[in-house]
Amino acid sequence: MMTWKSNFDETKKHYLDWWKGKGIVLSMWEHLFKEGEPYEEIPPPPRHKDINQFWFDPEWRSDYLHYRMSRNSYMADILPVANAQLGPGSLASLLGSELEGRDDTIWIHPKKDFDETIQFDEDNRWWKLHQDLLSAVKKRSEGKYMVGCPDLIEGLDVLASLKGPDNVLVDLILEPERTLEQLAEINKVYFDVFDRIYDIINMEGEMAFCYFSLWAPGKVSKLQVDLSIMISEEDFRHFCLPFLEEQTRQIDYTLYHLDGVDAIRHLDAVLELKELNGVQWTPGYGQPQGGNSRWYDLYKRVLAAGKSVMINWVTLDELEPLIDHVGNQGLHINVDFKSEREIEKALTIVDKYR
């Protein structure tokens, strides 16, 4: 695999160690442009005609991503991964929700006249788009970078996208058995779609995820239940944990995305997932970000349970105190880099602990 990342073999070793609870991965959220000349002189595509072309035209978007990937920095452990996502939770679109492109994201609207049936239609236009977009980006890459798995999401969050979170929360009380049946069906569709996507995007068996800077030598995914901030510990164990357990068993490498202070009450349950490899912490709106000392004990709690930890939006001045207090084993640190010079400074710090 000859990509534009010259130190990819070293980065892969860092990831292999991290999945086992060892060492440090130093990366960032997505990318910044490299200094100097691009890897290749790739012409930019013409400006998109409208927001729909920007998100939903496979040919245009593959050209756009190819241009950007030729100019991104892949220093440290930053991954050469094209972000071909179609919104957070795009699995819902394959079950009847509608996608709407916006300036900075894709919105997912509930399915009209949802009849409580979970059904995957092979002829669904959004499923066709998923396949066409991923295939176009993979072909355009010519092996010079990887294509990230879209942020499909699963479980209660998908059900909330289909019929609205309020309706889901009511049904946990009024229709618990039907909800469990729906969640089981969502998991079946998830595995079916995930495996087909893997077949499109994997490179020699290796896989990357579009967000959260993830690479693995096999199937890899980020798992989540953001709706968990609105349910009790008992309901989390009843409606979420069994399906998360199934995902961790069927996917080789998994990272749980713990989102928001109100989700911390579910951490003990998450840490009981034997096959789960790691936990990523997102503090949420109005809270200090991942490098703040407020979260040191949370990271130690995750590490003590035998899981690796991913820490996001760390500033350069927070990096060394973070490692000093949390340790130098099982850390994936995404720094909020602004330049390659900052990456070099961060490498100088991290290399002291490797």
Domain count within the chain? 2
**Confidence at 211, pLDDT banded by 50, 70, 90:** confident
Give DSSP secondary structure letters for 217-286.
SS-EEEEE-GGGGGS-HHHHHHHTHHHHHHHHHHSSEEEEEEESGGGGGGHHHHHT-TT--EEEEE--TT
Residues 26 and 110 in one domain: no
Which pLDDT score is estimated for 296?
98
State yes or no: pLDDT of 202 exceeds 80. yes
Distance of CA 61 to the CA centre of its chain: 20
Which one of 225, 247, 269 terminates a domain? 247
Residues 159 and 261 in one domain: no
Tens of pLDDT, residue by residue over 106-143, are 999 999 999 999 999 999 999 999 999 999 999 999 99
Asked, for residue 225, whether it belongs to a domain, the answer is no
CA distance 44 to 60: 10
Residues 240 and 308 in one domain: no
Q: What percent of the chain has pLDDT over 70?
A: 100
State yes or no: pLDDT of 210 exceeds 80. yes
Tens of pLDDT, residue by residue over 135-185, are 999 999 999 999 999 999 999 999 999 999 999 999 999 999 999 999 999
**Confidence at 95, pLDDT banded by 50, 70, 90:** very high
Give the chain's mean pLDDT: 97
Q: Is the pTM of this model over 0.85?
A: yes
Residues 258 and 237 in one domain: no
Tens of pLDDT, residue by residue over 234-251, are 999 999 999 999 999 999
State yes or no: pLDDT of 21 exceeds 90. yes
Asked, for residue 53, whether it belongs to a domain, the answer is yes
Greater confidence (217 vs 213) lies with 217
Residues 257 and 349 in one domain: yes
- What average pLDDT score do residues 72-86 get? 98
State yes or no: pLDDT of 231 exceeds 80. yes
- What average pLDDT score do residues 210-219 get? 94
State yes or no: pLDDT of 252 exceeds 90. yes
- What average pLDDT score do residues 56-77 get? 98
Q: What's the domain range around 237?
A: 41-71+80-204+233-247
CA distance 92 to 322: 37
Residues 5 and 52 in one domain: no
Residues 178 and 268 in one domain: no
Asked, for residue 195, whether it belongs to a domain, the answer is yes
Which pLDDT score is estimated for 166?
98
Number of Cβ within 10 Å of residue 82's Cβ equals: 27
**Confidence at 212, pLDDT banded by 50, 70, 90:** confident
CA angle 98, 87, 16 (to 5 degrees): 145
Which pLDDT score is estimated for 264?
98
Asked, for residue 26, whether it belongs to a domain, the answer is yes
State yes or no: pLDDT of 1 exceeds 80. no
- Report the CATH number at residue 138: 3.20.20.210
